[in-house]
Structure 1
Amino acid sequence: MDLGLSNKVALVLGGGGGLGRVIATTLATEGAKIAVADVSDDALEQVSTQLADIGTDSLALKWDLAGLDDIDSHVAAIEARLGPVDVLVNITGGPPPTPVAGQPQQLWSTQFQSMVLSVIAITDRVLPGMRERGWGRVITSTSSGVVAPIPNLGISNALRSSLLGWSKTLAHEAARDGVTANIVVPGRIGTDRITFLDQAKAQREGRSPEDVAKESTSSIPAGRYGDPTEYADAVAFLASTRASYITGSVLRVDGGLIPSV
């Protein structure tokens, strides 16, 4: 299936991380030009090597999403090197695992700026060009906690949920301009983040990480953690020309984990 992504320019935020890196390389194999943004030099070096092996035009940017003043210069660099952004994949790092009550206001403020406000501001920077060209994709990766809140991930549950309302509203506003906006919800995908959360839970409960992982996978109808490539393939389809009539949606890639309809 031709996804129609040849020579499209994709910006993948968090593109050096577990999900972001696989999304970036998957889009690259479909012929897209890739800009990856990440705060880690090592992660950027690794994903840049993978993109070079694929043979795509790419640009790696060290980018702290909390730095809102840097957005225009970073996007301008992408436009100068690769062209205007056609596909924006919003992935932000997760906050520390905590209860929702009793957290410092500064923690809420810091996480809101990096997890929510950055996504909105970067989208606002690239959206006018998408509308002018009559084609664009805004895909925002969140968490299964936006559908069924996850215990001890209070900040993540709250802040990521705000992106659902934003994305749905954006989809309504931009649809006639050929721009789609969708949310993708990962279940338990086998990344470093899931390993970290399993280890944190094991430490809190005085158990082994292996025991926690076994318990976790037993609750997933598919009986396993998802592979990052399975998640990336779903994102690639939403980015494609084939998905032009899908907007304002929330796509679960969770192996059946989330129990609600």
Structure 2
Amino acid sequence: MAKTPTDFVLRPFEGLPGEPDWVALKELVPAATATARTTKGHGARDVVVTTVLPQAWPALHRSDGVVLLALQTGTSSGDSSRDLSQALLAALDAEPGTAIESIGLPTAGPRLQDVLDTSVPFEVTVRESFDYWLASDVERTSDLDAAIEEADAGIIDTVKLGGVEAAYWARLGAKEFLRWAQPHDEQVVLDALARLHARRASGFDGSKFVGYFRSSGIVVPVWELARGSEADDIEAPVAAFAPAFAEALANDAPLDANERRARAGLVARQVTLR
């Protein structure tokens, strides 16, 4: 049964391939694209999922026929998946060269999980420029170049790690961080972090676990890295840390007293993005 527009969905991207990456592109990554495709019932059309489009458009049917769906837009209901699905379907129906500038309040209808082929991997490419907004056949003018340059100025240096899923290095001001979105239930992730933190094993090679975000129903732990660390510098340490993290995630034994104290401290560090 279709949900009504007032229904709140805690994990709107649950059931889609790459759920943590959907959340990362929606909340953390400034410029990136990812692959998706609609089901045969919706035309088996390739879709470019992107972090943002000009003027916060929800979607764009580019002049060359490419359809782009933006994640960093204002939501109209309690279910981001339905909002995005409505924007996507509107873009698919629109003529090439048409921007979907707003969608209003969605009515009950299909969600992304109903519209997208979930067998297609959600493969992310982090971008250094928003020039992909433009079709290759668009004549570049000084005004267009200036607009792209202005948008590019706000891009924060970000790199997706290759050794683990949904982990992003970012340089924020003079500091570097790792933000690693997790596909597991929130309580499982917090218990795992508490187990590691209680035995002072929640960091890796000069890094320090500093807290976590909550967004779209999943947890995004954050580590502050050694000053000046590049993404390549932490690939091996994060890969080496991953088995201990996985082991802690799989441990369903009750927390001991030290772990409970550590968990209480972690909860105090949470920030809910959305």
Same fold (TM over 0.5): no
Q: Which has the higher contact order (CA 8 A, sep 6+)?
A: 1
Larger-gyration structure (1/2): 2
Counting helix residues as a fraction of each chain, which structure ranks higher? 1
Which TM-score applies when normalising by structure 2? 0.28
